[in-house]
Homo-oligomer: A and B are copies of this chain.
Amino acid sequence: MDPPVIGDAFGEMIRDAYAVRTGIGPRPLAGGRLPRPVIEVIERDDGLINGAPADHYLDEPDAWQPYDHRALRLCRGRVLDVGVGAGRSALELQRRGFAVTGLDTSLGAIEVARKRGLHDTVLNTVDEFSRASVRYDTFLLLGNNLGLLEGPERAPVFLAALARLASPGARIVAQGTDPYGTRDSLHVAYHRRNIERGRLGGQLRLRLRYRELATEWFDYLNCSATELEDLLVGTAWRLKSIDDRDRPYYLAVMELAG
């Protein structure tokens, strides 16, 4: 059995989801005839696989979850949307008059965000981009992108990169998921195994697949608010507030210390 090809699985998925929603560009076909809904497939390293419709990456504000609306009200000044994807949040901030930059490592995602009207985009990692001389007042990590902290090893490196890009008084507004509320035995066993290996319980090892493409395996972190506070120790950031009205999802606001 051939392995998938390593490539921009996320970007190709976003391109297709955009084509299906708008009718612009070639659409994926079922049986050569019927447009099919675009599905995001995520594999976890314990053999778990999950599919979910990808269309939500393109949702207009009227279809958003309530915490996404509350997140945008926490933005101020110049905003860097980290992991901008198809531009869902950044486009709305732009409509509201914010100076917003969308950053992503996926070329396909950036191209779709630009087609949808996002003016200022960066195709890069935060690490590389943090050498730029530009500064931001808010770093926005929606769509569960608090997960980009990955785990105890990556988190301080990632947070230091954001600190280099930070204006005085800057904040991070991030949406995360507390993994420990589940009663799903597959997830409970996975958390336990992670802890036995010295990882955080919700330190997921994932890859995304779309058609013939896959990403490399990467860590993606679901952590509790307490674990987040621990990860901030020794960094330039401190936890200012947690809004967990939509548990297990939450919004964390972090501010530059001192």
Contact = CB atoms under 8 A, between A and B. Distances in A.
A50 interface: yes
Interface in A32-61: 32-33, 36-37, 39-41, 43, 45-53
Contacts of A245: none
Interface in A186-219: 186, 205, 209-212, 214, 217
Contacts of A36: 52
Interface stretch (A17-25, A95-103, A176-184): A176-184
A147 to B, nearest CB: 12
Interface string A1-33: 111110000000000000000000000111111
Nearest to A177: B31
A76 to B, nearest CB: 28
Given A1-B43, A46-B212, 14 more contacts: A1-B205, A1-B217, A2-B45, A3-B47, A31-B248, A31-B249, A32-B248, A33-B247, A37-B53, A39-B50, A47-B212, A48-B212, A49-B211, A186-B212
Contacts of A2: 45-47
Interface of A: 1-5, 28-33, 36-37, 39-41, 43, 45-53, 177, 181-184, 186, 205, 209-212, 214, 217, 247-249
Query: What is the oligomeric copy number?
Result: 2
Contacts of A209: 49
26 contacts: A1-B45, A1-B47, A1-B217, A2-B45, A4-B47, A4-B48, A4-B49, A30-B52, A31-B177, A31-B249, A32-B181, A32-B184, A33-B181, A33-B247, A33-B248, A37-B53, A39-B39, A39-B50, A41-B49, A41-B51, A46-B212, A49-B209, A49-B210, A50-B211, A51-B51, A186-B212
Given A3-B47, A51-B39, A212-B47, A29 B184 contact: yes
A47 to B, nearest CB: 4
Contacts of A31: 177, 182, 248-249
